[in-house]
Amino acid sequence: MVSSTDIAQRIIEAVLAQRLAPGTRLGEQSLSLLFDCSRTLVREALVRLAARGIVTVSSRRGWYVVQPSHEEAREAFEARRVIETGLIRSTVQIDKAALRRLRQHLKQEQAALKGDDVGQRSYLLGDFHVCLAECLGNQLLADTLRDFTARTTLIAMLYQSTHDAVQSCQDHMDIVTALERGDAATAERLMAAHIGQVQAALRLGPASDPLANLREALAPVREASAPDKRKPPTSPPSNTYLGALL
């Protein structure tokens, strides 16, 4: 029987696979039918995800996937940079079993890049960071990273990231290679550069003004239409085509 944890995990996985876009509505009734469970279980899962910053609720719209702002995007990437570089810095030595697991994950990434399942590719590229945290021996931070990785996946979707998946996979390989030879300093530097490149690929542009249209419409009429008395009125050149004046 499905649990609220199962429902929350499925939603996180769908976000990492880019199958749930920012702003997607998550109706309690629809989810309860999909998972064949009570709305109470669905609501419990959504409340958990809200606490983790993946979904939010509105009195009018109900539950929906978050749409991170520019500032929230910056904070999410900064959090990942601090956590992931800190994890690598604190690593004394990574054991052979962990390295084998990371190498297997990289093989899956490479196979996904050759296929046409974009969702699988996106999920594996994001899950690498969770896998790395687990291999470095910190499950608590791995769970935290899963949420931050989901948020940055939503950010990449929302702001149309131009970062290349092949480059991401290569970055991951370089990080693992550095760890394999015991060079934590290089691995940390590579991780910081990797996260920075992913962030730099976002098409953030200038922050939009949600009141722009209303602000323009309600501007004082006199300011907008009053002629400048210091300048004499000008008449159009005599050779101007009439259609240009209409």
- Residue 59 has what pLDDT? 84
Using CA atoms in the order 216, 220, 225, 227, what is the torsion angle rounded to 10 degrees?
Answer: -130
Q: What percent of the chain has pLDDT over 90?
A: 75
Find all residues with CB under 8 Å of 148, minimum gap 6, and list them: 76, 79, 80, 83
pTM score: 0.78
On whether both 84 and 51 belong to a single domain, the answer is no
pLDDT tens, 130-144?
999 999 999 999 999
On whether both 194 and 75 belong to a single domain, the answer is yes
Residue 210 lies in a domain: no
- The domain in which residue 47 lies consists of 4-65
CATH number (domain holding residue 92): 1.20.120.530
**Which amino acid type is present at position 22?**
P
Query: Which is it for the CA torsion 71, 73, 76, 77, positive or negative?
Result: negative
98-112, 150-164, 177-191, 218-232: the lowest-pLDDT one: 218-232
On whether both 161 and 111 belong to a single domain, the answer is yes
Residue 176: band (very low, low, confident or very high) from pLDDT cuts 50, 70, 90: very high
> Has residue 229 got a pLDDT over 90?
no
In whole angstroms, give the CA distance from residue 241 to residue 211: 38
Residue 35: band (very low, low, confident or very high) from pLDDT cuts 50, 70, 90: very high
On whether both 87 and 196 belong to a single domain, the answer is yes
Measuring CA to CA, how many Å separate 43 from each of 33, 38, 65? 13, 9, 14
Residue 190 lies in a domain: yes
- Residue 232 has what pLDDT? 57
- Residue 219 has what pLDDT? 76
User: 45, 65, 85: which is the final residue of a domain?
Assistant: 65
CATH number (domain holding residue 33): 1.10.10.10
On whether both 75 and 196 belong to a single domain, the answer is yes
Using CA atoms in the order 194, 180, 126, 67, what is the torsion angle rounded to 10 degrees?
Answer: -40
In whole angstroms, give the CA distance from residue 107 to residue 100: 11
Q: How many domains does the chain have?
A: 2
On whether both 77 and 182 belong to a single domain, the answer is yes
For the record, the structure tokens of 189 come out as 């530097």
On whether both 39 and 79 belong to a single domain, the answer is no
Residue 229 lies in a domain: no
On whether both 93 and 195 belong to a single domain, the answer is yes
> Has residue 145 got a pLDDT over 50?
yes
- Residue 240 has what pLDDT? 36
> Has residue 215 got a pLDDT over 90?
no
Residue 237 lies in a domain: no
In whole angstroms, give the CA distance from residue 132 to residue 141: 10
On whether both 13 and 107 belong to a single domain, the answer is no
